[in-house]
């Protein structure tokens, strides 16, 4: 079950139905990124998960970008293809742990990125992202990235 952050593109959902039973899980984070085609092999035959914070960020993005009603409707239909993982007490505890470990290791981790990483870690899902460096220092996180090493 992969988990993703905000770097996948809406084109990812056009080929596969995340609700088909019997598939593994992947946590998918979304953002408009033309490089998303590189990630399709990691998503095939998987159930896609996103954190509640990713959904919130996408809704905020739509509002800030002054999207018209039809485009917002499309976004919500697109999000309907994902399992959106809500907050829970276990997730709150994992988030606190991830933040403290990152800080103790001298790593700055953005709050939203910590929610995404915590969700993937708690559910044992690999995190698909094009910004792997955002998650360095998160213990137990399995990152999948197709970004060139810098």
Question: What are the structural domains of the chain?
Answer: 3-144 (3.40.50.1010)
Answer whether 35's CB lies under 8 Å from 146's CB: yes
Q: What is the pTM of this model?
A: 0.75
The predicted structure's pLDDT at residue 30: 42
DSSP per residue over 50-84, as a string? EEHHHHHHHHHHHHHTT--HHHHHHHHHHHTTSEE
The predicted structure's pLDDT at residue 145: 85
**Rg over CA atoms, the chain:** 15
Q: Which residue has the higher pLDDT, 137 or 116?
A: 116
Q: What is the pLDDT of residues 68-115, one digit of tens each?
A: 999 999 999 989 988 999 999 999 999 999 999 999 999 999 999 999
């Amino acid at each position: 079950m992969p988990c993703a952050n905000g770097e996948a593109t809406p084109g990812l959902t056009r080929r596969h139905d995340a609700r088909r039973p019997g598939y593994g899980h992947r946590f998918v984070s979304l953002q408009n990124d033309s490089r998303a085609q590189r990630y399709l092999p990691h998503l095939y035959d998987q159930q896609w998960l996103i954190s509640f914070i990713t959904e919130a960020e996408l809704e905020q993005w739509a509002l800030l970008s002054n999207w018209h009603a039809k485009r917002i409707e499309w976004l919500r239909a697109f999000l309907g293809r994902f399992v959106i993982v809500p907050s829970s007490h276990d997730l709150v505890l994992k988030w606190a742990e991830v933040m403290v470990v990152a800080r103790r290791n001298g790593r700055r981790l953005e709050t939203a990125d910590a929610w995404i990483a915590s969700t993937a870690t708690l559910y044992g899902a690999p995190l698909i992202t094009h910004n792997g460096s955002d998650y360095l220092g998160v213990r137990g996180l399995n990152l999948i990235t197709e970004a060139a090493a810098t």
